[in-house]
Amino acid sequence: MPKTPRRPTDPMAAAEAAFKPARKPAPAAPVPQGVPAPRELVSIRIDRDVLDYFQEDGPGWQERINAALREAAGLSGLSEEGKRPEELNATNDD
């Protein structure tokens, strides 16, 4: 009969085992061209006036913020939908 490992009797060893550093996930496979990249859910603090600016056109404000950030980062002048940030508004929502 195989022996099962015992729990560590040393409290320090038990604590070290419980709080091992988390492993980073493997890098994601590249997304094929034409397929939208998956979105990441994040929490970010934005000044109230900036939020009001993006929300004044109604639904789609998160996509407009994303498009503006992509443009500011130099990643693309177009959103994933192929529209410029100023072209995104509630009528573009699916």
The per-residue pLDDT for range 39-87, each reduced to its tens digit, is 888 899 999 999 999 999 999 999 999 999 989 998 875 545 555 555 6
- Would you say residue 28 lies in a domain? no
Which residues, 6+ apart, have CB-to-CB distance to 79 below 8 Å? 63, 66, 67, 70, 85, 88
Q: Say if 82 falls within a structural domain.
A: yes
Report the predicted TM-score, pTM, of the whole model to 2 decimal places: 0.47
| Sequence-separated (6 or more) residues with CB below 8 Å from residue 77 | 71, 84
What are 77's two structure tokens? 């002048």
Residue 7 forms part of a structural domain: no
Residue 93: inside a domain: yes
Note whether residue 57 is domain-resident: yes
Q: Residue 79 belongs to what domain range?
A: 40-94
Number of domains in the chain: 1
* Coil, strand or helix at 46: coil
Given this model, what pLDDT does residue 13 score? 75
Q: Extract the tokens encoding 11.
A: 């409290």
Q: Is residue 34 part of a domain?
A: no
Within a domain: residue 60? yes
Residue 90 lies in a domain: yes
Q: What is the DSSP letter of 7?
A: P
